[in-house]
A and B are shown apart, each in its own frame.
Chain A
Amino acid sequence: MTKPIYILGGFQTDFARNWSKEGKHITAMMREAVRGAMQRTQVEPADIDVGHVGNFAAELYTMQGHLGAFLLEADPGLSGLPTARHEAACASGSIALLAASAEIEAGRYDCALVLGVEQMKTVSAAIGGEYLGTAAWYEREAKGVEFPFPKLFGKLGDEYDRRYGLKDEHLARISAINYANAKRNQRAQTRTWYMSEDHASCESKYNQVIGGRIKVTDCSQVTDGAVAVFLASETFAKTWAKRTGKRLEDVARLRGWGHRTAPIAFADKIAESADQPYVLPHTRRAITDALQRAGITDVWQLDGIETHDCFTTSEYMAIDHFGLTEPGASWRAIEDGVIDFGGKLPINPSGGLIGAGHPVGATGVRQLLDAARQVTDSAGSYQVEGARKFATLNIGGSGTTSCVFVVGRD
């Protein structure tokens, strides 16, 4: 990072809510998140220089585009704010964060509002699955396919199986851990749902196969949610810290970032990586870029990871790609309890996308907010004790856009 970027905090809506049942327009969700973030951080509308929105497909789900403009609906004091909306499928939120942080690094602005949002419960699961197909190469990979993404991430599992061997019991364990973690998180979508490793392991009328080796319990959720955070320059963070009675060194900082794009078609990704140890080498590269920029030489310097478990196979991939094991041996970290809530390097203490929920465009921002809360001892009931460095991995498409952040405090 050329200049320090501070994360002042933010707000996440309750991911268990169904905003269509509440009779709400997407603006209501955005407004609650922005106002919640302003209230929690004591950042005033006049402090905010720029607004960035991460969103995947509001045009499809809600027939509403131009979401940047809706930031202004949160408060009359935001009128005139420069805004933009960013899209990179499930990584949209992280792309919005990258844009905001780049502007602060460039010295253009001092305080940025970044909001990730998705309202998905407006349509049936089948239609929603079709919309999500646009995050793949639609005509080649999704058109006419029922639930294309579970099938694509099922293939990721198959590729692991082909190269290294993969047991479904390890995927079931990933699912059970995420659900168990979500029970500690009062804003997680599945916090009241029943789950056990037993249930995740068995195929039944309540746990049917959706595509390939992917069962219902291997999937993240269809979620309505918005998350807002404030990023700030050192100049603003100093003033803000003084105003709110904080020490600057206690404020979370963005320590490093990684951002890589792989060929969009899943078959092309696999063909490209055929002779390489990592199944998704561009994702691996995004991770090593971020760790390097953060000055982290050993993954065990991290205290936790919020990763993109859109399916259990993507978390399985993240485990070896982060370097918790050698390539293909993610199962060992699972069996050894490394990724458990109380493990050596917990993954998704929030519950992740499987447990906490996956409002597509909001996920990257939710991960960053959770990481910032973890390193500032403000994650409440799902605090990883003493955490000082956390990483996030947010993926768009079938491993296409990979965004990684390292968050820490002094």
Chain B
Amino acid sequence: MGAGSGEVFAAAGIHTTFLARTRDKAEQGRARAEKLAKATAIAKLIDVGTYDADFDAAVGEADLVFEAVAEDMELKKQYMARIDKVRQPGSVVATVSSGLSIAGIVADCSEDLRKHFLGLHLFNPPNVIVGCELVPHAGTDPDVIAATDELLRARLGRQVVRTADTPAFAGNRVGFKLLNEVAQLAEEYGVGYIDALIGPHTGRAMSPLVTIDFVGWDVHKAIVDNLYANTADEAHDCLKLPAYMDELISAGHLGNKTPDKGGFFCGGSVLNPSTRGYAVAETPVPELAQKMRAAHRIGRYNDAIELMVETASPDAALMRKVVLGYVSYALGRVGEVVERAADVDRIMAFGFNWAPAGLLADMIGPRRCVALLDKTNLAVPPVLTEAAEKGERLWDEPDVDAGRFFFGS
């Protein structure tokens, strides 16, 4: 993540220094940045150095210090103390944490650092995914928030969403809730079936379990464990890591990063969560999924959503439970994690490449969506009730093609 984030700054023409434990590591980061930018010329903007030899000078000169050490509170605190000693007053300090308490990281730091500190959650790979979360803590100076927001938008081309300093912020809270719920359902319904049912036709570039394999089971565990321990919302049970995943993680199954052991998928084989074993299995794509894909293929996105809403079958009921559960949970975070529905929708669109909850609610019709949530025993978010009452739409991004979120075959 460090090199990827650094590339985003250098690509904007900002002189950047990559610091790492060793010079080799920093050089590797610079090479990675060249590869991401597909340009050797970017290296001219990137200096490299080590934590031992170059930290004080580089941090001392910087207008913005971007800390991207491992996701560990104690480690981050140690580095923050070092930064605090040598940074110039007034410089902005950001952490790339995807879930730790932003205020907690700088709890022991100077007043000036705390005022100039905020969380900056970029999504991988940041040179492609432009969504980012800007997470001030209670003590961040409003001018620092505004200036960083402007830098991210105007120079770095980011789509910025401001969120509260709550566990996993908005994107990962909402996204990993759905991913984990599908992982839970895999135990009952099978990996192949549930992943095909909640596949790209439901409004995501990658199906849920393929996504968990892609991000890594260890990362998934860290995020949902943090959420399960530190939140208490209406979907709390969906955040509990399935026991089979916990066991397999201990045995070294981390998804794509451990290709020999795999995750939900391993080569041509599929995990059976009950036996913890893998077998070659051809899972037929559920008929409802096939029909929705066919509708998306010819651009009839509303027809596909109608199929999900109106079909009377166990497949459709299960799909509604998960997809409407996502709509309910995402819009339910308004007022807690984000200010407006547009914020959580924007981070799901620009950070996850998922159909935003507000867009799905609009396609269903806000009033009809309220009734469906009720019928499915899902919480009805006040923001949805309000849209239904006023007859307003929730998703309003004229520069974004809604069709890009729906995948055919």
Contact = CB atoms under 8 A, between A and B. Distances in A.
A187 interface: yes
A28 B299 CA distance: 4
Nearest to B40: A204
Contact of B297 (A23, A183, A194, A205): A23
A31 B301 CA distance: 11
A28 B34 contact: no
Interface stretch (A195-203, A328-336, A399-407): A195-203
A196 B42 CA distance: 8
A15 to B, nearest CB: 10
Interface stretch (B91-99, B248-256, B397-405): B397-405
B38 interface: yes
Given A14-B404, A23-B200, A187-B399, A198 B299 contact: no
A31 B295 CA distance: 13
A390 to B, nearest CB: 21
Nearest to A30: B299
Nearest to A206: B38
Q: For A22, A202, A207, which residue has the most chain B Cβ atoms within 10 angstroms? A: A22
B146 interface: no
B399 A194 contact: no
A234 interface: no
Contact of B293 (A23, A194, A196, A204): A23
A145 B151 CA distance: 46
Contacts of A134: none
B312 interface: no
B157 A183 contact: yes
Interface string A180-196: 00010011000111111
A198 B41 CA distance: 6
B299 A23 contact: no
A31 B299 contact: yes
B407 interface: yes
A36 B7 CA distance: 35
Nearest to B398: A40
Given A24-B299, A204-B40, A206-B34, A32 B293 contact: no
Contacts of A36: 401
B296 interface: yes
A186 B296 contact: no
B401 A32 contact: yes
Nearest to B12: A194
Contacts of A13: 401
Given A23-B297, A191-B157, A192-B127, A28 B408 contact: yes
Nearest to A202: B41
B127 to A, nearest CB: 7
B400 A27 contact: no
A25 interface: yes
Contacts of A169: none
B130 interface: yes
B128 interface: yes
Contacts of B229: none
A193 B37 CA distance: 7
A198 B42 CA distance: 9
A192 B157 CA distance: 7
A42 to B, nearest CB: 14
B91 to A, nearest CB: 25
B41 A199 contact: yes
A204 B39 contact: yes
Nearest to A17: B404
B298 A31 contact: yes
Interface in A277-314: none
B286 interface: no
B409 interface: yes
A22 B13 contact: no
Q: For B39, B298, B399, B409, which residue has the most chain A Cβ atoms within 10 angstroms? A: B39
Contacts of B407: 22-23
Given A13-B401, A183-B157, A192 B297 contact: no
Interface string A1-16: 0000000000001100
Given A14-B400, A17-B401, A23 B409 contact: yes
B90 to A, nearest CB: 29
A207 B297 CA distance: 35
A198 B44 contact: yes
Nearest to A201: B41
Interface in A239-277: none
Contact of A194 (B37, B400, B408): B37
B331 interface: no
A381 B130 CA distance: 18
A196 B13 contact: yes
Contacts of A196: 13, 39, 41-42
Given A29-B299, A183-B157, A22 B37 contact: no
A73 interface: yes
A232 to B, nearest CB: 23
B100 interface: no
Contacts of B327: none
A25 B39 contact: no
Contacts of B296: 22-24, 28
A298 B293 CA distance: 54
Contact of B403 (A32, A195, A205, A206): A32
A171 B396 CA distance: 40
B11 interface: yes
A36 B400 CA distance: 11
Q: For B11, B297, B401, B408, which residue has the most chain A Cβ atoms within 10 angstroms? A: B401
B280 to A, nearest CB: 25
Q: For A17, A192, A205, which residue has the most chain B Cβ atoms within 10 angstroms? A: A192
Interface string B272-302: 0000000000000000000001001111100
B156 to A, nearest CB: 10
B399 A186 contact: yes
A70 B158 CA distance: 36
A36 B403 CA distance: 11
B39 A206 contact: yes
27 contacts: A17-B401, A17-B404, A22-B407, A23-B293, A23-B407, A23-B408, A23-B409, A24-B403, A25-B299, A28-B297, A28-B299, A28-B403, A31-B298, A31-B299, A192-B128, A193-B38, A194-B38, A198-B41, A199-B39, A199-B40, A199-B41, A204-B39, A204-B41, A205-B40, A206-B34, A206-B39, A206-B40
| Closest 7 pairs (CB-CB, A-B) | A28-B299, A23-B408, A194-B37, A199-B41, A31-B299, A198-B41, A199-B39
Given A14-B404, A22-B406, 12 more contacts: A13-B401, A17-B404, A23-B407, A24-B403, A25-B297, A28-B297, A29-B299, A193-B38, A194-B42, A204-B40, A206-B38, A206-B39
